[in-house]
């Protein structure tokens, strides 16, 4: 896995939304590793530019592809699904951040590159499981944390968008 350099440090997850996103990113990473991809970097940041959720390597018989993956999760709503939340502006930001990644790690510059999306569309829970663990840092003020009862099935969109004039 890529080691942080020159101002690149691990993301500090402070809000509940960030921690929830981290859970889905972990699930996506595990899913992709089960599909044979190799993790290169997770939550890689270029300060003031953007963040790459996952950077993975897909090895093939004749060539390998460096895959930049955006992980999105969204409650089902009338505003569209998780995949649609990757707007053109977000795509440009991911592409720009990917360019910085390749500058920082030129050993990956010769690989084909692809931009994928892993989307989780989740239903609003009708019931949840409350568990107690006094040592859990994610606990609410009473020492309880709401834990999802199911692992959600990801939608893997290969080549979700293209970087023109790459």
Cα(11)–Cα(45) distance, integer angstroms: 8
Per-residue pLDDT of the chain (166 residues), as tens digits, is: 665 555 555 445 555 555 556 889 999 999 999 999 999 999 999 999 999 999 999 998 888 999 999 999 876 665 667 667 788 999 999 999 999 999 999 999 999 999 999 989 876 554 444 444 555 555 555 554 555 445 678 889 999 999 976 6
The region that residue 46 occupies, defined by phi over 0 for left and psi between -120 and 50 for alpha, beta otherwise, is: beta
Which residues pair with residue 54 across a beta bridge? 42, 69
pTM score: 0.72
Tell me which residue has tokens 């890529």.
Answer: 2
Decide which of 3.10.110.10, 3.90.1200.10, 3.40.120.10, 3.40.1350.10 is the CATH code for 1-123+155-166.
3.40.1350.10
């Amino acid at each position: 896995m890529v080691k942080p350099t020159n101002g690149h440090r691990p993301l500090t997850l402070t809000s509940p939304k960030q921690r929830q996103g981290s859970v889905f990113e972990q699930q996506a990473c595990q899913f992709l590793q089960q599909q044979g991809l190799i993790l290169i970097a997770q939550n890689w940041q270029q300060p003031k530019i953007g963040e790459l959720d996952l950077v993975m390597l897909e090895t093939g018989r004749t060539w390998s592809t460096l895959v930049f993956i955006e992980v999105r999760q969204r409650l089902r709503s009338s505003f569209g699904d998780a995949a649609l939340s990757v707007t053109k502006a977000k795509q440009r930001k991911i592409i720009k951040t990917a360019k910085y990644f390749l500058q920082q790690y030129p050993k990956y510059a010769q690989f084909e590159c692809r931009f994928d999306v892993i989307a989780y569309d989740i239903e609003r829970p009708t019931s949840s499981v409350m568990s107690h663990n006094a040592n859990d840092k994610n606990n609410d003020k009473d020492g309880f944390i709401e834990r999802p009862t199911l692992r959600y099935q990801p939608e893997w969109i290969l080549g979700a968008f293209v970087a023109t004039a790459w």
